[in-house]
Amino acid sequence: MPLFDRKDKSRYATFTRRTLIMSGGMTAVLCALGGRLYQLQIRDGDLYRTAAEDNRVNERLVAPPRGRILDRFGIELANNRRNYRLLLVAEQASGGTEKALDSIARVIQLTDQQKKRVLHDIAMNKKFVPVVVAENLSWDEFALINQHLPYLPGVQPDVGETRSYPFGAEFSHLLGYVAPVSLDDKQKAGDDADPLLDLPGFRIGKRGIEKAYDAEVRGQAGASRVEVNAYGRVIRELSSDPARPGKDIYLTIDRELQHFTDQRLAGESAACVVMDAQTGDVLALSSTPGYDPNLFNVGISNDEWKQLTTDDHKPLINKAVSGEYPPGSTFKPAMALAAMQNGLKDLTVNCSGAMQLGNHLFHCWAWKKGGHGHVDLKRGIQVSCDVFFYEVARRLGIDKMHEAAVALGFGNRTGIEIPGERPGFMPSTEWKLRRTGIPWQVGDSLSAGIGQGYVIATPLQLCTLAARIASGKAVTPRLAHVVGGMVQPRAEAAPLPFSAEAFDAVRTGMNLVTNVPGGTAFAWRIAEAGLEMAGKTGTAQVRVISKAERASGVKKDAQLPWALRDHGLFIGFAPVQQPKYACACIVEHNAPPHPQVQVARDVLRFAQQRDVLGLKTAYPVNAAQAATAGERT
C-alpha cells in the first residue's frame, strides 16, 4: 500500500475519534441541560412558581384593636382612641431627611432624641418605607401639620389607634399599662410566639389586668396581601383579611366606689381594699399615690421616670397586693378564733400594762395607764389588750397559731388575677429552725400574737380575713367577672374550720370595737341605724422603742419624722347584722387621729348608701373624741 494511503487513513481515524468525543461531550451537556430544565420546569415547577409568587406577593400582618376593660356596670376603664401620627418617606423628602425634620420642627415640637431615632430608623429601612416621626399628637398639632402639608414633601399624616386610660392614675395599679414589645418579652414567648410581637410599634400588657389577660384582649392579627416590585415597593393590594378585635373584660370593680376610695386616700401613701364579703368580688382596689398609665403608652420622659422612682410614697408599687406589713392588732381576731377553737373561750387575764417573760418585759399599749384590768376574749378585742393576746399566744404556741392563720388567708397568695401579688408570711417552729438553726422561743410567739415579729400580710389578705370572719366561709378575692362574653366560673366557698360560737364571739368583739364606748374605734363609728360597721384597729411599728425612750416618755407619731411613724391599719365589715362588705385599709406612717379608720368608715358607708356623692358627707374628725380613743391600738 502506498505510503500516502496509510497517512490518509490515520488522519481519518484521528478525526473520527475527536468527532465522536466532541459529539459525546455535546450530547452529555445537552442531556444535563435538558435534565436540569426538566427538574426546574416539570418536577420542581410548582416549588419555583410558589417562590416566584412569594417574591411578587407579600403577606403583611394587620394589628387588631385591643379589647376594652370595663367595670361591673359597663363603664370603660381602658379603651382605644385615635392616634394621630406623622410619617416620613425619605425618598420623597426634597433636600434630604434632616432638612425635612427641621421643617417639621418649625410646625410641631421635635426633640433631638426624636430626630436621632427617625434618622436611625430611616437608615435601617428602604427609602420608600414610611417611618414614624411622632405619634399621639394633639388635634391642634395634627391640624397644623395638615395645614402646612403642601410645604412638607415626604410627610404623611396618619390616623391609627392607641390604648387609652380615661381615669388616669385612679386605676393605674389595677389595670397596669401597655408598652412596646421588648427583646425579653420575645424570648419569654419562645418558639410559639405570636407573630404580632414582631410587628413594629405593637404594644402588649406590662402590668395589672393588661398583663394578666394580654392574650385575651390582644385579639388576632389580620392579613393584607400586596403586590410588590423587585425592590419591595407596594404596587397594589390584592386581598385582605380583617383582624379580630380582642375580647372585652368586665371586672367586679365598682368605678364609683374606687373613685371615692381614691379621693379619701389622696395625699397619703396608702392602700384600701373593699370586697363583697359573701362572694369575694373585689369592689375597690386602691393604692395611692398612683401614676398615669398613659405615659407608658405615649412615651415617658426621663424627668417623669425619675420623679416616679424617687418619690418616697412609692407610686409604682401596688401596695394593696404587693405591700407587706406587720398586721399589728388587726391580727388579733385571727388569734381570738384560734383561742376559741382550742378551748380558751373562757380565758380571763389581768392586764397590769405588761407581761414579764424571763428578764424581758412585753408591754401593752396601755402600759402607761396601768393596763386594762380584767379582760376576757371579747373585751380583749374591744380594747385591743396586748397582754390578753400575749397570754393566748403563750398557751397556743406558734404551730396552732399558724394553722388558724393559714385557714384565714395568711401566709399564701390569694390567687387574685393580677401579677405581682406577694404571699405575706406566717412563721412556724419548723421554719425558724430550718432558716436560722435556732429553736422557736416563747417570746417569738408573744410578738406574733399581736401581729408583730415575723408575721407580715398584704392589705388584700387583711380584707380577705375580714370577709372570712364576716361570712364564715373561705371566700377568695376575684377581679374578672366576664371575659369575651363568658362568665368566669368559680367554686363555692368552703366552710372554715371554726365553730359558729367562735365566729359569733369574734364578731361581737369587733362590734364592741366600733359601736360601744371604750372601743378603740368608737369615735369613728357609722352612726346611721342599719349601716353600722364592726372592725378592728391596728398599729404596725416601723422602729424599735428603746428602754431609755420608754423611761423618758415615748414620742407620739405626730412628733416624729414621717418615715419613722407607725403604720395605721383597720379591718372591718358592714352592716353588722348581715355583713355584705368587707374592707381593709392601711395608711403608711400615719399620725392620729387614725385616718385609716375614718377612710374605711366612709368607704363602707358609701358602699351601703350609694346616693352619698363626694367627700362633703364624710364624717368630720371630732378632736375631743379622738383624744379619748386609744392612741396605739
CATH number at residue 268: 3.40.710.10
Question: Mean pLDDT throughout 137-148?
Answer: 88
Question: Mean pLDDT throughout 146-168?
Answer: 87
Is 563 buried (19+), middle (13-18) or exposed (0-12) by CB count in 10 A?
Answer: exposed
Q: Is residue 398 part of a domain?
A: yes
| Encoded amino acid at 255, one letter | R
| Nearest-10 Cα torsion for 524, 525, 526, 527 | -100
Q: Is residue 31 part of a domain?
A: no
580 and 433 share one domain: yes
Q: What is the DSSP letter of 353?
A: S
pLDDT above 70: residue 179: yes
CA-CA distance, 323 to 461, in Å (whole number)?
A: 11
Span of 136-150, 183-197, 499-513 with lowest mean pLDDT: 183-197
pLDDT above 90: residue 90: no
CA 553 to chain centre: 43
- Which residues are paired to 473 by β-bridges? 495
| Encoded amino acid at 509, one letter | G
Among left, alpha and beta (phi > 0; psi -120 to 50; other), residue 448 is alpha
Segment 292-318, tens digit of pLDDT: 999 888 778 888 899 999 999 999 999
Q: Which pLDDT does position 613 carry in this prediction?
A: 44
Query: 381 with 536: CB under 8 angstroms?
Result: yes
Residue 209, C-alpha cell as written in the block = 389586668
Going by C-alpha positions, the residue among 278, 182, 271 that lies closest to residue 474 is 278
Residue 347, C-alpha cell as written in the block = 380565758
Residue 456, C-alpha cell as written in the block = 407580715
Is 441 buried (19+), middle (13-18) or exposed (0-12) by CB count in 10 A?
Answer: middle
Span of 179-193, 333-347, 364-378 with lowest mean pLDDT: 179-193
Q: Is residue 101 part of a domain?
A: yes
233 and 334 share one domain: no
CA-CA distance, 621 to 598, in Å (whole number)?
A: 8
Residues in the chain: 633
Q: What is the DSSP letter of 244?
A: B
Q: Which pLDDT does position 622 carry in this prediction?
A: 44
Q: Which pLDDT does position 74 carry in this prediction?
A: 93
Q: Which pLDDT does position 93 carry in this prediction?
A: 82
Q: Which residues contact 497 (CB under 8 A, 6 or more apart)?
A: 341, 407
Question: Catalytic residue among 329, 384, 428, 445, which?
Answer: 329
416 and 561 share one domain: yes
Cα atoms in the Cβ-side hemisphere of radius 13 Å centred on 536: 33
Q: What is the DSSP letter of 41?
A: I
Question: Which 3 state secondary structure label does DSSP give 60?
Answer: strand
Q: Which pLDDT does position 12 carry in this prediction?
A: 60
Active site residue 329: yes
Is 426 buried (19+), middle (13-18) or exposed (0-12) by CB count in 10 A?
Answer: buried
pLDDT above 60: residue 629: no
Span of 16-30, 144-158, 250-264 with lowest mean pLDDT: 16-30
Is 619 buried (19+), middle (13-18) or exposed (0-12) by CB count in 10 A?
Answer: middle
Residue 111, C-alpha cell as written in the block = 426633640
Segment 583-593, tens digit of pLDDT: 999 999 886 67
263 and 200 share one domain: no
pLDDT band, residue 2 (cuts 50/70/90): low
Is 490 buried (19+), middle (13-18) or exposed (0-12) by CB count in 10 A?
Answer: middle
Q: Is residue 7 part of a domain?
A: no
Q: Which residues contact 446 (CB under 8 A, 6 or more apart)?
A: 355, 357, 362, 390, 393, 394
The last residue of one of the domains, among 251, 272, 290, is 251
pLDDT above 50: residue 625: no
Q: Which pLDDT does position 4 carry in this prediction?
A: 47
Query: 288 with 268: CB under 8 angstroms?
Result: yes
Query: What's the sign of the alpha-carbon dihedral 339, 448, 628, 608?
Result: negative
Question: Mean pLDDT throughout 121-135?
Answer: 78
Largest distance between two CA atoms of the chain? 153
pLDDT above 50: residue 448: yes
CA-CA distance, 629 to 594, in Å (whole number)?
A: 10
Tell me the CA distances in angstroms from 240 to 160, 194, 200, 220, 225, one per residue in order.
18, 19, 19, 14, 6
Q: What is the DSSP letter of 406?
A: H
Which residue has better confidence, 490 or 28?
490
pLDDT band, residue 151 (cuts 50/70/90): confident
Q: Which pLDDT does position 552 carry in this prediction?
A: 60
Question: Mean pLDDT throughout 604-625?
Answer: 59
The last residue of one of the domains, among 207, 235, 251, is 251
CA-CA distance, 86 to 146, in Å (whole number)?
A: 10
The last residue of one of the domains, among 213, 229, 251, is 251
pLDDT above 50: residue 8: yes
Span of 11-25, 68-82, 242-256, 422-436 with lowest mean pLDDT: 11-25
pLDDT above 90: residue 521: yes
| Pairing of β 69-70 and β 249-251 | parallel
**Nearest-5° angle of CA 540, CA 558, CA 567?**
15
299 and 422 share one domain: yes
397 and 506 share one domain: yes
Count of structural domains, the chain:
2
| Nearest-10 Cα torsion for 624, 625, 629, 632 | -60
Q: Which pLDDT does position 476 carry in this prediction?
A: 96
Q: Is residue 54 part of a domain?
A: no
Q: Is residue 1 part of a domain?
A: no
CA-CA distance, 224 to 401, in Å (whole number)?
A: 63
Going by C-alpha positions, the residue among 339, 368, 336 that lies closest to residue 352 is 368
351 and 236 share one domain: no
Span of 20-24, 157-161, 329-333 with lowest mean pLDDT: 20-24
Query: 535 with 606: CB under 8 angstroms?
Result: no
3-state per-residue secondary structure call for 8-29? HHHHHHHHHHHHHHHHHHHHHH
pLDDT above 90: residue 31: no
Tell me the CA distances in angstroms from 520 to 32, 37, 385, 514, 531, one per residue in order.
100, 96, 10, 7, 19
Question: Mean pLDDT throughout 174-193?
Answer: 85
Residue 629, C-alpha cell as written in the block = 380613743
CA-CA distance, 133 to 110, in Å (whole number)?
A: 9
Question: Mean pLDDT throughout 101-126?
Answer: 84
Backbone angles phi, psi at 507, to 5 degrees: -60, -40
Q: Which pLDDT does position 15 carry in this prediction?
A: 61
Going by C-alpha positions, the residue among 251, 253, 249, 78 that lies closest to residue 178 is 78
Q: Which pLDDT does position 545 carry in this prediction?
A: 64
- DSSP H helical ranges for 479-560: 500-515, 547-552
pLDDT band, residue 601 (cuts 50/70/90): very high
Tell me the CA distances in angstroms from 123 to 98, 119, 127, 180, one per residue in order.
12, 6, 8, 21
202 and 275 share one domain: no
269 and 242 share one domain: no
Segment 358-399, tens digit of pLDDT: 889 999 988 878 899 999 999 999 999 999 999 999 999 999
The share of the chain scoring above pLDDT 90, in percent, equals 54
Q: Is residue 362 part of a domain?
A: yes
Q: Is residue 458 part of a domain?
A: yes
Q: What is the overall mean pLDDT for the chain?
A: 85
Q: Which range marks the domain in which residue 595 is found?
A: 255-305+320-628
pLDDT above 90: residue 465: yes
pTM of the model: 0.83
Question: Mean pLDDT throughout 178-193?
Answer: 82
Question: Mean pLDDT throughout 216-236?
Answer: 70
| Encoded amino acid at 328, one letter | G
239 and 301 share one domain: no
Backbone angles phi, psi at 386, to 5 degrees: -65, -40
214 and 278 share one domain: no
Span of 12-26, 186-200, 256-270, 425-439 with lowest mean pLDDT: 12-26
Is 147 buried (19+), middle (13-18) or exposed (0-12) by CB count in 10 A?
Answer: exposed
Q: Which pLDDT does position 32 carry in this prediction?
A: 77
278 and 207 share one domain: no
Q: Which pLDDT does position 591 carry in this prediction?
A: 64
Read off the CATH number of the domain in which 102 is found. Answer: 3.90.1310.10
